[in-house]
Structure 1
Amino acid sequence: MRRVILLVVLAGAVAVTSVISIMLGQYDLPLRDLPGILAAGPTGATDLTESVVWQIRIPRVLLGLLVGAALGVGGALMQSVFANPLAEPSVIGVTSGAGVGAAAAIVFGWTFLGTSTTPALAFVSGLITTGVVYALSRFGGKIRVINLILVGIAVNAVAGAAISFLVFLAPSTSREEIVFWQMGTLNGAQWAHVSVVGVIVAVGLVIALLLGRHLDVLSLGDRAAAHVGVNVGKLRALAIITATLLTAAAVSYAGLIGFVGLIVPHIIRTVAGPSNHLILPASALGGAVLIGLSDIVARTIIPFVDLPIGIFTALVGGPVFFILLRRMTRKGGHA
């Protein structure tokens, strides 16, 4: 019952946030007009307001929901695999690592895989980054907190330097766009973006949900999981690949938005307990709500200015990261 209530509340929050996001912007839309515009559909848009709603706001809202879900579940998977609440894609460098591939595709205009080129390169570079983080953080068969943080700092620094170099190589006309993308934004969302990210996120979420119960067993330890028939190596590799796939999909079209995968699973775990069977779907909904709210603030806090979403997720995520780090060190997690 508790599981159902939590998911229903989060689903309701997603719906409310989406409606508010569609209504607010440089041109506010009255709530009474929204049902008629939505009923008309994208092909029935005949005036400026309807076109704005269907061609700008709804794609942006949907992309934000998908990105939030991807980052939330990606963070939950990372934390389960590394058995560490600090193992979030942006903290340990996976997000910026995936950003290198995406930035390269944007700067050099690569389209050899069509619309899938950018997310494909982001996935490859993100997967390589994940492998490096996993290998360098292990000491004595365990992932230590201090190792994870230090490796994350180093990876973020190297990836940041690589992205800066790519920005330097970019034509002057597109540098501002790339710099803005580095801070995370949903500006310029299109239906084509929603379609690509939607497919990737749907596949990633299905795989993640199927892994949920096995990850619960893995939390008991590798030996205990192997004893009940779980292929630990295969499970861990599949979970890492899925988390990287979700992170790459989000980075490709929304830029570098950090801390979502840290904040959301931590709150869900605090409220609902350690079961991944609940944490994963709840993190998808919670991530969607967080990105949706951040986007509303980014578009409305300063009139006629569209601020980067990453600013607001970092303002919330920074203190949460510090609190978690203090808790881990007090429990001896630094050893």
Structure 2
Amino acid sequence: MIVIHSLSGGGAERVAADLSAYWVQRGFNVTLVTQADASTDAYPLHPAVTRHALGTAAPSAGRLSAALANLRRVWSLRRLIKRERPTVVLGMMTTASVLAIAAARGQPCRVIATEHTHPPSQELPAIWERLRRWAYPQASAVVALTSGTASWLEKHVPGSRLTVIPNAVRWPLESAEPVIDPPRRNGRYRVLAVGRLHPHKGFDILIRAFHEISAHFPEWDLIILGEGDCRAELQDQIDAAGLGERISMPGRVGNVADWYMQSDLYVLSSRVEGLSNTLLEAMASGLAPVAFDCETGPREIVRNGIDGVLVSPAGDSEALAAHLSDMMAHPEQREAYARRAVDVRDRFSTPRIMALWGYLFEVH
């Protein structure tokens, strides 16, 4: 049984859909439980996966109403666990993991918690931080995507039985709606970034860095794919820099594979990261990456100086500009890194990652 708030989009939601499909294809009975109904889904489920929507996703007004809502969520999930009698319950992300541990108390199933973002970068209310410290030591295992996150949990959530299992890279990438075709190249070069338009992704830093070097590389453009609350302010920044013809934000696309294939360099400007699915996808597609060496994530994917570049200090636009310009000016280096970048298809392959999950289920 996989428990997650919704399938409305995001890395953990996509991983939940992928894990459920993989296990059901191998003969397991898989139930996926969400609080939200299927109308919010961004990812399709395998038809053999049983879906339960608890209908408990409504936002709460005030502490008392939030506490009551969470009690209802635990009660609804507990009834479902008693009825379905799963051998393993997998909570996806902090709140779903805490709710799963509380709901399964006294039941014969094992509960595995997961963290999909680096906790210091989470906007988590203090009550959920306390609940995490209470709940995680009771789980059979706590899965972190990176060793950096595992180290943080070891220090701040003592008693957790920790293991590191990264996300598998999706390869080859499938297309979905909305399909937006990349514009014609017309002999120009393209830097690509993909992610939510959110402060964590550092697109303001990226625009500033590109502005610094744009005059030296007049044949290069920057494309930022994704949607989010920061669109207006990022567009204002682009317009203020006079780069409306050179930097574009087409929105969220379902055929991101086409954009990877039609680009020359990938950039990850995140201030904070878990394990970046887009970085894995870009490298699997044969793009050399330039990525900030933030506290966790990129350093566990990019082999600096072998298949990409890690930029320090994270968040420094001048450092990012310098490394981008170096890669833009040296096509031979870009191509050499790109040839090695595709190794992520093997290093983060589905069979390899699923073997780690299989071992975890056996020993816990």
TM-score in same-fold range (> 0.5): no
Flag the structure with higher strand content: 2
- Looking at both structures, which has the greater relative contact order when contacts are Cα pairs under 8 Å and sequence separation is at least 6? 1
Tell me the TM-score normalized by structure 1: 0.26
More helix by share: 1
Structure showing greater radius of gyration is 2
